[in-house]
Structure 1
Amino acid sequence: MKIAFLLSIHFSLLIFVHCYGGNGYDPLENVLRIQRSKRSVHDPIKNKELNTEYSYPPVYVGPQDGLKDFDKISSLPGQPTGTDFDQYSGYVTVDPHHGRALFYYLTESPFNSSTNPLVLWLNGGPGCSSFGNGAMMELGPFRVNADNVTLSHNKYAWNNVANVLFLESPAGVGFSYSNTSSDYETGDIQTAQDSYTFLVNWLERFPEYKSRDFYITGESYAGHYIPQLAQLIVQNNKITNQTVINLKGIALGNAYVDSETENTGMYDYFWSHAIISDEIHEGIISNCNFSEAGTITEACEDYLSQAKAARSNIYFYDIYAPLCSSSSNSTPSISEFDPCTGNYIDSYLNIAAVQQALHAKPVYWESCNDFIGKHWQDMPFTVLPVIQDLMASGINVWIYSGDTDGRVPVTTSRYSIDKLETSVEKPWYPWMHEDEVGGYVVGYQNLTFVTIRGAGHFVPSYQPARALAFFSSFLEGKLP
């Protein structure tokens, strides 16, 4: 009965899902629009939810004996020959009473897996899959081919230098689920708590990683997930009777961290990249107050609508990339990334044999769950105070940005860093990769900012070699 109930709920939720970054689909904007409508009256108390210390009861820890061996993947359907690393996937229960369990995928390093660090990757949305989008489209060891059934090696996979753990969070995203339907109406606080509970239990299942250096990285709305989870880890590490997680650093990619700078940075980017006119840009500047105390007037809404119309149907997650269409293969792309990749992943992950090999419950998988975003409960206006706390605590904080992303563009990241009011230690300079400029970097006090040249929102998809070079520098704690 429980399984039937679970599947019916999960399927009913996923019918509202779309492909992350698909033509015209923008899950982050959908959520932010709903949140703006809720914020009709300024409430200074509401934003303190995630700026104060967490106060949670003892973390649930379930039995993990034998589950690691069960989770080992013998082989994925269509996997290329010569695969020389171990893979694991399965579920970790985070709430046994509600029947809430999160799905993970671990890809270990082909070399030095016993000493390489552990890295947690989180996609955003909120409501989008870290496995389908992160692992299969961006930085994982495989890419799905255009035939929808076979895989090819990604030679720039991040497991070349780290053991990478992909987490589908919160419940209702990807293969993660709950037996309690109300769990799908969640938010930032519950997501951080569940992710922490997942880590504590996962480390019991994989105890060899308990003392390993640990890093968290991800992109987009993970700009909320990552700092909040990191803050929870730092605070709970002070409790001597709980698992100490050896967190060393976080890296936020094209990350949504502050509502004001997200809006001002995005529309400034549109104007500076000839997407909107001078008149529309001036209208937004004159009529829109994106601060927490500001209200969105009818005049502002009109100019925002004009900006969206002017943008037209460009793929603004990578403004110079072609759209997925019947002519995509003949359309040149700066990054040489196939814009139809999301469709291949969708088909592949809905093959019954693939879900069985992943130890996943049989569901209709899609990359994003609109229900999650539409019913998001708590979202602070900014997480910059959390990032400041992490910087002060000694955690290595990096912010990186693909410079052709229009969704959370490089201007947004720079405006957010300005709000952090940290001093420059190493002035802006170009970093090199394979005798070309890979991007630009600034070293601040307790913060590093890196751009990846020619990359859109999904940095490892568009510039895989430069992304791996930047990521390796991050792990080494050295400026690129």
Structure 2
Amino acid sequence: MLHLLLPLLLLISNVVPSQSDIVESLPGFPGDLPFKLETGYVGVGELEEVQLFYYFIESERSPKDDPLLLWLTGGPGCSALSGLLFEIGPLRFDYSNSSGNRPVLRLNPYSWTKIANIIFLDAPVGTGFSYATTWTASNKTDTSSAAQTYEFLRKWLMSHPKFLINPLYISGDSYSGVIVPIIVKEVYDGNEAGREPPMNLKGYVLGNPVTCEVKDISQRIPYGHKTALISDELYESTKTDCNGDYVNVDPTNGACLADLEMVSICLEKIYLGQILEPKCSIITPNHTRLEWSRSILEENIIDVVSMPQQSRPWCRSYNYLYSYIWANDRNVREALNVREGTKPEWDRCNYSLAYTKDVLNSVVYHKYLSKTSLRALIYSGDHDLALPYVGTLEWIRSLNLTLLGPWSPWFVDGQVAGYSILYSENSKYDLTFTTIKGGGHTAPEYKPKECFAMIDRWFDYYPL
């Protein structure tokens, strides 16, 4: 009997109660933080073997009235800290004043926390500072991760009841395009079933979202044609020879393979994240010609560090070096109240997760949600080759919603900031799709001012 009880006792001994702490200052930022930052863990799953780490920042305007956002960065496995520091959070690295191992932080004038309360969550387990106390708890799927995030949100709101009345939006970008609609359905169904606590769910926000990886990647070819990266002749030949499927290619279809090799030659030197920016030499020269179709985005930080400074152009991914230096500093971890010994190293994106993608197309969740009274905002940087806007617009059109207006420009400081279109279903559900002119993957990192204007207007039910 003892040998049966021992594993259970070990599990129980590993359970750590949820905790939260207020962070008043951070290494690299001068003085006290001018906003309220809380960090902590919430235990989820059986015996709470999964400890999800979060950063919560209260709205700098009116915490009791402004929306509450749950934010998930993509990947799967990219830390919420990346979204906080490089996209929509109140802090940025001050590159001009940072040097070597001394990253300096500054305020972001276009932080979404100026108008919203935001929970930045490290999910799924293994992301950022989140960790599991057992091996089996480390294994996750799309659906199980979404269920644990829903459990996190319920527990977090029960411990922060004053935010239960705030309008709630589930949000994220990139691979979160698969997870967020599942979570929204969980919250909506939970409310309908009377689960506690009741949540004031209003809608969801997705940026440059993955929906169906195979279709998303295939859209790089039509997008490359639209942006003059692929010629008319090659595009028409590829479309015909490959029957419109550029990923699941018949190995005996020599004409299609030949076309795709030419496509690879055209695209292989283009940076997927933003087609106008330089591509870093972080992939070995021995990769195959069909490399373009392998993944959404890849990054190898070791190769970036080892390259001689004088031999490389500036590349956006070099900005991420400071996040590795900063987040792995002992003083920073202590300031953030990270539990010692739980994560040996912080990664901006952990691609070694024990993770199974069991939702191959999340459109079915959008179709379900389109029958509700929720609202959705979908935005895409129009220079993103990793997840081209044309693919996002295609699945939105497949929902067969009612078009409420024409494709129209919207403006920031008198300049075109993007183009938007509004859809509805039975005068209840509405979906706004917009491009961010000049934006990449993901848009707020490239166009923070325009994205701030977008979210500010949308939250207030104003036209973009």
Q: Shorter-chain TM-score: what band? A: 0.7 to 0.9
Cα pair 2:174 2:207 within 8 Å, conserved? yes
Paired residues for 1:104-183 under 5 Å: 104-131=54-81, 133-146=82-95, 147=98, 148-183=102-137
Provide the secondary structure at the position in 1 that maps to 2:143. helix
CA deviations over 1:265-290 (Å, ceiling 9, x no partner): 22111122232344543453234356
How far, CA to CA, are the matches of 1:258 and 1:478 in structure 2? 30
1:322 equivalent among 264, 268, 278: 278
Are 1:322 and 1:339, in contact at CA under 8 Å, matched by a contact in 2?
no
Offset of 1:117 from its aligned partner?
1.3
| Whole-angstrom distance in 2 between the partners of 1:112 and 1:469 | 18
The answer to whether the 8 Å contact 1:390/1:397 transfers is: no
Is the Cα–Cα contact under 8 Å of residues 214 and 249 in structure 1 kept in the other structure? yes
* 1-structure distance, mates of 2:121, 2:135: 20
Matched, 1:368 2:349: yes
- Equivalent positions of 1:30-109 (< 5 A) are 67-68=19-20, 71-81=21-31, 83-95=33-45, 97=47, 99-109=49-59
What do the CA deviations read for 1:382-402 (whole angstroms, capped 9, x no partner)? 211211211211110121111
The aligned residue for residue 469 of structure 1 is 453
Partner SS, residue 97 of structure 1: helix
The one-letter code of the counterpart of 2:333 is: Q
Q: Higher mean Cα deviation, 302-311 or 243-252?
A: 302-311
What is residue 292 of structure 2 aligned with on the other side? none
Counterparts of 1:134 and 1:121, CA distance in 2: 8
Percent same amino acid at aligned positions? Answer: 31
Cα gap change, 1:280/1:416 in structure 2, threshold over 3 Å: closer, same or farther?
Answer: same
Structure 2: how far apart are the matches of 1:290 and 1:101? Answer: 43
> Which moves more between the two structures, 431-440 or 260-269?
260-269
| Partner SS for 1:393 | coil
Give yes or no for contact 2:411–2:418 (8 Å, CA) kept in 1: yes
Q: Secondary structure at the match of 2:83?
A: helix
Alignment of 1:408-419 (within 5 A): 408-419=387-398
1:371 CA displacement:
1.8
Pairs aligned (count): 410
Measured after TM superposition, the shift of residue 263 of structure 1 is 3.3
Kindly tell me: are residues 466 and 80 of structure 1, through their superposed partners in 2, closer, same or farther at Cα, counting changes over 3 Å?
farther
Secondary structure, in 3 states, of the residue corresponding to 2:155? helix
SS of equivalent to 2:391: helix
Partner residue of 2:169 out of 215, 225, 240:
215
| Structure 1 counterpart SS, 2:86 | helix
Aligned residue identity for 1:349: A
* Structure 1 residues 168 and 443, CA gap change in structure 2 (3 angstroms): same
Any idea what SS the aligned residue of 2:228 has? coil
Query: Which stretch shows the higher mean deviation, 397-406 or 363-372?
Result: 363-372
TM-score of the superposition, structure 1-length normalised? 0.79
* Cross-structure match for 2:439: 455
Larger RCO of the pair (alpha carbons < 8 Å, separation 6+): 1
Aligned to 1:15: none
* 1:17-56 Cα distance to aligned partner (Å, 9 max, x none): xxxxxxxxxxxxxxxxxxxxxxxxxxxxxxxxxxxxxxxx
Relative distance call for 1:459 and 1:422 in structure 2 (3 A) is same
1:281 aligns with 2:281: no
Counting only pairs closer than 5 Å after superposition, residues 237-316 of structure 1 correspond to structure 2 as: 237-259=191-213, 261-278=215-232, 280-288=234-242, 295-298=248-251, 299=253, 300=256, 303-316=259-272
Cα contact 2:24–2:32 (8 A) shared by 1: no
CA distance in 1, matches of 2:30, 2:261: 47
Q: CA deviation at 1:339?
A: 4.7
- Choose 1 or 2 for highest CA Rg: 2
Asked if the contact 1:145/1:344 (under 8 Å) is kept, the reply is no
Asked if the contact 2:26–2:33 (Cα under 8 Å) also holds between the matched residues in 1, the reply is no
The partner residue of 1:206 within 160, 171, 176 is 160
What is the distance in 2 between the residues matched to 1:165 and 1:177?
A: 18
The 5-angstrom pairing of residues 400-439 of structure 1 reads 400-439=379-418
**Structure 1 82/187 Cα, relative in aligned 2: closer, same or farther at 3 Å?**
same
1:396/1:447 contact within 8 Å kept:
yes
Q: Residue type of the partner of 1:360?
A: V
1:289 and 1:183, CA in 2 relative to 1: closer, same or farther beyond 3 A? farther
Distance 1:265 1:201, change over 3 A: same
Residue 397 of structure 1 aligns to a residue whose secondary structure is strand
Kept after mapping to 2: 8 A contact 1:144/1:150: yes
Kindly tell me: are residues 420 and 259 of structure 1, through their superposed partners in 2, closer, same or farther at Cα, counting changes over 3 Å? Answer: farther
Name the SS of the counterpart of 2:47 in structure 1. Answer: coil
RMSD, aligned CA? 2.8
Cα separation, 2, equivalents of 1:340 and 1:328: 14
8 Å contact kept, 1:168–1:174 = yes
SS at match of 2:120: strand
Aligned partner of residue 112 in structure 1, secondary structure: coil
Listed as ranges, the gaps of 5+ residues in structure 1 are 7-61, 332-336
Between 308-317 and 196-205, the greater mean CA deviation after superposition? 308-317
Counterparts of 1:241 and 1:301, CA distance in 2: 52
Cα shift at 1:225: 1.0
Q: Report SS of the residue matched to 2:333.
A: helix
Quote the residue 1:18 is aligned against: none
